[in-house]
Amino acid sequence: MQSTLTSDIQYLPGVGPRRAQLLRSELGLGTFGDLIHFYPFRYIDRSTIQPIASVLPDMAYVQILGTVMRADLIAKGGVQVTPDKSQRATRLSVWVSDQSGSIELVFFRGIKYTYEKLRPGQTFLFFGKPTAFGNRLNIVHPEIDTPPAAGADTSGLTMTGVYTSTEKLKNAGVTGKVMLRMVSAALNSCMDSIQETLPEYILKEKGLVPLKYALRNIHFPSDAQALSKARYRLKFEELFYLQLSLVRQKYVRSRSENGIVMPHVGEAFHKCYNALPYELTGAQKRVIKEIRADMASGHQMNRLLQGDVGSGKTMVAVLCSLIAIGNGWQSCIMAPTEVLAQQHYKNICRYLEPTGCKCALLTGSTPAKERNSILAGLQDGSIGICIGTHALIEDSVIFHRLGLAVIDEQHRFGVEQRSRLWAKSPGQTLPHVLVMTATPIPRTLAMTLYGDLDVSVIDEMPPGRKPVETLQIAANRRPELYRFMKKQIEAGRQVFVVYPLIFESEKVDYQNLEQGWQDIVDHFPFPPYKVAIVHGKQTSEEKTFNMDAFSSGRANILVSTTVVEVGVDVPNASVMVIENAERFGLSTLHQLRGRVGRGAEKSFCILVKGQKVSAESSKRLDLMCSTENGFELAEEDMKMRGPGDLEGTQQSGLPIELKIASLAHDGTILTLAREYAVSILERDPSLSRSENAILVLVLQGGKYDIKNFSKIS
């Protein structure tokens, strides 16, 4: 028999085909069950009645008990019309009062109906959002209710859910009140069909309320405590199943997939390590030990390495590549851009000098003759480490024995691109995988996007790395900024200037790269100054030429788009100027700041603000000036923008849609849910015990299917 939960929403009283189509297209609600799991995003306390005199424009919502004093039908031009000409009215102005004062209520829809309902002398409950219009206060389209009778029980009216809506739905008459009626009807129809989705032992051990209670009270809470219990139950369940799905993948993989056993560290590793001109940080040493243990375990490594800008991830990747070489295997390091691949190649060749290990660079612009030589070296095994871009995943690239694949800034590669790299290992043996990111990922997001990977974090900066002083200035202080840049250049330093755009756009009002470059050239003429420019529309040769001019010190200023965000290392650059900084997210701003402060001199990051800066953008810029901790910034960024909108995660989005839990605000519940999922799988790795049958059933439903972000093979 078909469950009521799967019934088409059009058959719900008060819906019908037209509204059903709107609910489907606007909110994705197609069944009774969809509606039941469409939760309010906030609640309003309807038990309080506000005196009109105390209503202020910054109040979220207010409820007033007012008597209608007068109602005026207003036509275009502010002309008042009589009831018989009501069809000409464009708005209805209603004045209501209580003992404390009076306020205007304004209606632009349903004018005739509302005019006839709100007769002078009658008293109603009005509920809405106060707004300031000129020098007076009004409430536009308040909800209208009859006041409760004297002595009536109003306890059930204390908490009212507010649901996400759209203009189309509102215009079609699907108000908050109508939504509440529909949800109530759906709940009443489906209550007998709702089956518990968590085993009895979990409800008891975690102190969770039953599902029926949770669903009733998430929509129509009997009181604040009932709402709290309902919310916690539904959030815990959502995050628990999400983590159970991820941890289960990890358990299955660790038991079923054989990895290349690399028991030795090898001579090349020791030669490189002993020749380093500096001591590795404690965090780098700890991470290398974790990776070594994975590579020797006999299981395929799938590890995420997180480290803030400049924390030394590349050095870790090199030493781990040398472990693979010491065991007779090859390594590859894939970077998202040619600029970064070339930077890696130059630095890594320097590290490898004492080892005798052969290293190659393979990009889209590698000349054919050199390319053929590299392909031959990879196939016969004479090249130990290959650094490259997307060129590494082309069919013509065949490794003799690929044992370790390192992906730098892995979020910039698509799933299909990464899977083609894994497939280059010999036979059925999968290479060890190390994915690295300098985009700090909040812990809760990492546990979700990469919940089936082992995570290592380099949380310590190399000694001698000086803090970068971050300042924000208005665009009208540019002459002062240029004087400061000239002083820095006279002292032998170099300057980055980053713009958000390449070509002028009619849709946006901020400075673009070409205008900015011209302005810089005008104020820093050649000689004595030299200005280089790098952006995404240039050819690879142009980019390399200009980047080299800056890296080698021939150019004093590099004008650029965010192509310099990742990996460009110029120790002599001491100033990062970011134009229209309010247009960038915190993650990008932090990445850009990380391009300076790499040398011995004091460095500066100057955030140049445009004329119009929103409150949220101001908060972002203030945060940038207050901390250099990338993980702290990432947490704040997620709270402000939401997890699906963070740089580094938009391409993939979140693995599932969370209906009630929030990665930004429910970190404690997420941690508890993950620990509990781990404990269940430790006791019952295959979930074969009878008490876990519900868990298997829910997972098989597909709602918690997660894209596997780590191993795509």
DSSP 527-577: TT--EEEE-TTS-HHHHHHHHHHHHTTS-SEEEE-GGGSSS---TTEEEEE
Confidence at residue 696, expressed as pLDDT on a 0 to 100 scale: 94
Q: Could you tell me the strand order of the sheet in which 531-534 lies?
A: 468-474, 603-609, 573-578, 494-498, 557-560, 531-534
Q: What span, in angstroms and rounded, lies between the C-alpha atoms of 493 and 572? A: 6
| 587 within 8 A of 440, measured Cβ to Cβ | yes
Q: What are phi and psi of 555, to 5 degrees?
A: -105, 140
Residue 445 lies in a domain: no
Residue 610 lies in a domain: yes
Contacts of 204 (CB under 8 A, 6+ apart): none
Reported in sequence order, the residue ranges of 409-525 that DSSP labels E, i.e. its strands, are 432-437, 454-458, 468-474, 494-498
Confidence at residue 689, expressed as pLDDT on a 0 to 100 scale: 95
What is the pairing mode between strands 159-162 and 143-145? Answer: unpaired
Contacts of 257 (CB under 8 A, 6+ apart): 299, 300, 430
Q: What span, in angstroms and rounded, lies between the C-alpha atoms of 266 and 280? A: 18
Residue 239 lies in a domain: no
Alpha helices of 309-459 — where are they, by DSSP H?
313-326, 338-352, 368-380, 415-422, 443-449
Confidence at residue 508, expressed as pLDDT on a 0 to 100 scale: 45
Residue whose entry in the numeric block shows the structure tokens 């929103």: 614
Two tokens, residue 289: 């030990």
Examine the domain organization and report whether 381 and 416 are in the same domain: yes
Contacts of 607 (CB under 8 A, 6+ apart): 470, 471, 472, 473, 578, 581, 589, 621, 624, 625
Burial label, 114 (beta-carbon count in 10 A; 0-12, 13-18, 19+): middle
Angle (nearest 5°) at CA 449 between 452 and 229: 95
Examine the domain organization and report whether 61 and 149 are in the same domain: yes
Residue 256 DSSP code: H
Give the CATH number for residue 507.
3.40.50.300
**Residues forming a β-bridge with 307:** 458
Confidence at residue 33, expressed as pLDDT on a 0 to 100 scale: 93
| Predicted TM-score (pTM) above 0.75 | no
Examine the domain organization and report whether 413 and 475 are in the same domain: no
Residue 490 lies in a domain: yes
Examine the domain organization and report whether 87 and 30 are in the same domain: no
| 234 within 8 A of 218, measured Cβ to Cβ | yes
Residue 130 lies in a domain: yes
Angle (nearest 5°) at CA 74 between 68 and 77: 150
Q: What span, in angstroms and rounded, lies between the C-alpha atoms of 237 and 208? A: 9
Amino acid at position 602, single letter: K
Q: What DSSP element (H or E) covers 153? A: none
Two tokens, residue 684: 């019952």
Two tokens, residue 56: 């202020």
| 492 within 8 A of 485, measured Cβ to Cβ | no
Residues of the chain with pLDDT under 70: 1-2, 148-158, 253-257, 410-419, 422, 425-428, 443-444, 449-452, 464, 501-511, 563-568, 641-656, 664, 705-713
Based on the structure, what is the number of domains in the chain? Answer: 4
| 499 within 8 A of 579, measured Cβ to Cβ | yes
Instruction: Give the dihedral sign, CA 680/686/689/690.
Output: positive
**Residues forming a β-bridge with 259:** 430
Confidence at residue 441, expressed as pLDDT on a 0 to 100 scale: 72
| 319 within 8 A of 262, measured Cβ to Cβ | no
The last residue of a domain, from among 562, 595, 627: 627
Examine the domain organization and report whether 546 and 613 are in the same domain: yes
The last residue of a domain, from among 391, 421, 437: 437
Residue 220 lies in a domain: no
Residue 338 DSSP code: H
| 442 within 8 A of 634, measured Cβ to Cβ | yes
Two tokens, residue 448: 């979700």
Angle (nearest 5°) at CA 651 between 455 and 598: 60
Two tokens, residue 693: 């049958």
Examine the domain organization and report whether 604 and 477 are in the same domain: yes
**What DSSP string describes 658-675?**
-SS--TTT-HHHHHHHHH
CA torsion angle 672 675 676 682 (round to 10): 180
Examine the domain organization and report whether 288 and 352 are in the same domain: yes
* Residue 411 Rama label (left phi>0; alpha psi -120 to 50; beta): alpha
Alpha helices of 388-512 — where are they, by DSSP H?
415-422, 443-449, 478-490
User: Quick check: helix, strand or coil at residue 405?
Assistant: strand
The last residue of a domain, from among 437, 453, 482: 437
| 564 within 8 A of 595, measured Cβ to Cβ | yes
Examine the domain organization and report whether 392 and 506 are in the same domain: no
**Residues forming a β-bridge with 315:** none
| 597 within 8 A of 310, measured Cβ to Cβ | yes
User: Quick check: helix, strand or coil at residue 593?
Assistant: helix
Residue 486 lies in a domain: yes
Examine the domain organization and report whether 42 and 57 are in the same domain: no
Angle (nearest 5°) at CA 536 between 535 and 541: 80
Residue 212 lies in a domain: no
> For residue 145, what are the domain limits?
48-153
Examine the domain organization and report whether 332 and 357 are in the same domain: yes
User: Which residue, 571, 609, 610, 568, is CA-closest to 591?
Assistant: 568
Burial label, 593 (beta-carbon count in 10 A; 0-12, 13-18, 19+): buried
Q: What are phi and psi of 635, to 5 degrees?
A: -60, -45
Half-sphere exposure of 275 (CA within 13 A, CB side): 14
Give the CATH number for residue 56.
2.40.50.140
Examine the domain organization and report whether 187 and 39 are in the same domain: yes
Q: What span, in angstroms and rounded, lies between the C-alpha atoms of 518 and 515? A: 5
Examine the domain organization and report whether 286 and 398 are in the same domain: yes
